[in-house]
């Protein structure tokens, strides 16, 4: 196997891995080392692997974070394995869903930079997103390395945020995506969110900024002041000079570290082109359980949107 850089600062492309085989210790070590260095890696040419292969590979690196509604769907036939998050625009029959549906509106929240499940009390580690069907144009996934972003912040900003803690909520990004306020209030009660430091230590020992669209307030600050600080930091991190934009090929498996990377999807012709992306989420430790209660789902939003 070989790794080549995808971006001057971060991101690596791996050629030569075959994930249809049981991952041996040498492959696990190779991937762990690559992830510490690059933060995002793309394993090419995995169009032949099954959902079971995808899940077996993911579990080699930690317990799964199961998608919302898993318990209700685990024994029902479906288009894909119930342990995987559905990041597609397809219904259970493989047809494009209505772009005006609540599910489509929820998906708009994924077009803002975020770290998956930063609102969750479980320690989120990696996301693994496999491209089964990709649009012929647009629909890129963009990434930002928060380790490098932190190092580029002015010293006075780093001093200011060093000991601050932000509150993260699934609702924060959905509101920005245009979800109805009445629906967000119901979800707010079901999903209280989590607190995360604005500066954390990444797996390679470097400090990194930890902010994203799930963050909505800063502990100990006036709400407006805290929201303004979060927006300031997110705007800084979102500069073009920090962004790697991944152009999908069928069979790409993208892996990113949610502890030090932000990502977002970009627009594509949702009503015309089919997109079938399936994601396994891996936690650092703990049991396999869903990050979101089944009761948080709404009928026309199933399968649950990605986060």
Phi–psi pair at 29, nearest 5 degrees: -65, -40
What is the model's pLDDT at position 173? 63
pLDDT of residue 39: 98
Distance CA 298, CA 276 (A): 21
Q: Which residues partner with 130 through β-bridges?
A: 253, 278
Separation of alpha carbons 220 and 156, rounded Å: 19
| Domain limits, the chain | 2-239+246-301
pLDDT (tens digit per residue) in 95-118: 999 988 878 877 777 888 999 999
Tell me what the mean pLDDT of segment 250-278 comes to: 96
* CA 254 – CA 271 distance, rounded (Å): 24
pLDDT over threshold 90, residue 80: yes
Q: What is the pLDDT of residues 190-211, one digit of tens each?
A: 677 899 999 999 999 999 999 9
What is the pLDDT at residue 180? 64
The per-residue pLDDT for 187 is: 67
Lowest-pLDDT range, 228-242, 248-262, 279-293? Answer: 279-293
- Residue 102 has what pLDDT? 73
Model confidence pLDDT, tens digit, residues 37-69: 999 999 999 999 999 999 999 999 999 999 987
How many angstroms separate the Cα of 306 from the Cα of each of 74, 119, 200, 209? Answer: 18, 13, 24, 22
Residue 54 contacts residue 278 (beta carbons within 8 Å): yes
Q: Residue 298 pLDDT > 50, yes or no?
A: no
Instruction: Give residue 99's pLDDT.
Output: 87
Q: How confident is the model at residue 300 (pLDDT cuts 50, 70, 90)?
A: very low
- Residue 246 has a CB neighbour count (10 Å cut-off) of 22
Return the HEC string of 179-212: CCHHHHHHHHHHCCCEEEECEEECCCCCEEECCC
- C-alpha 114/C-alpha 298 separation (Å) is 22
Distances (CA, A) of 303 to 111, 165, 167, 182: 18, 32, 26, 21
Question: For 2-239+246-301, which CATH superfamily applies?
Answer: Clavaminate synthase-like (3.60.130.10)
At which residue do the structure tokens 């800084």 appear? 236
């Amino acid at each position: 196997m070989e790794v080549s850089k995808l971006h001057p600062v971060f991101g690596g492309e791996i050629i030569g891995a075959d994930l249809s085989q049981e991952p041996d210790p040498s492959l696990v070590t190779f991937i762990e080392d690559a992830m510490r260095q690059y933060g995002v890696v793309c394993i090419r040419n995995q169009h032949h692997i099954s959902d079971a292969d995808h899940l077996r590979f993911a579990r080699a690196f930690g317990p799964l974070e199961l998608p919302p509604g898993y318990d209700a769907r685990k024994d029902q036939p479906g288009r894909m394995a119930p342990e995987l998050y559905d990041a597609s625009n397809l219904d259970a029959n493989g047809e494009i869903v209505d772009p005006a549906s609540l599910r489509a509106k929820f998906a708009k929240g994924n077009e803002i930079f975020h770290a998956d499940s930063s609102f969750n009390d479980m320690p989120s580690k990696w996301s693994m997103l496999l491209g089964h069907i990709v649009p012929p144009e647009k629909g890129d996934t963009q990434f930002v390395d928060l380790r490098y972003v932190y190092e580029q912040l002015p010293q006075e900003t780093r001093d200011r945020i060093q000991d601050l803690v932000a509150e993260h909520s699934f609702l924060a990004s959905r509101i920005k995506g245009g979800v109805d306020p009445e629906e967000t209030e119901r979800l707010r009660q079901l999903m209280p969110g989590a607190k995360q430091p604005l500066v954390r230590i990444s797996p390679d020992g470097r400090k990194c900024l930890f902010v994203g669209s799930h963050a909505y307030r800063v502990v100990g600050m006036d709400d407006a002041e805290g929201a303004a600080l979060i927006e300031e930091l997110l705007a800084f991190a979102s500069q073009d000079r920090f962004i790697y934009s991944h152009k999908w090929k069928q069979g790409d498996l993208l892996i990113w570290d949610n502890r030090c990377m932000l990502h977002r999807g970009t627009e594509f012709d949702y009503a015309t082109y089919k997109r079938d992306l399936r994601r396994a989420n891996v936690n650092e430790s703990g049991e396999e359980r869903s990050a979101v209660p089944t009761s948080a789902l709404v009928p026309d939003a199933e399968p649950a949107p990605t986060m």
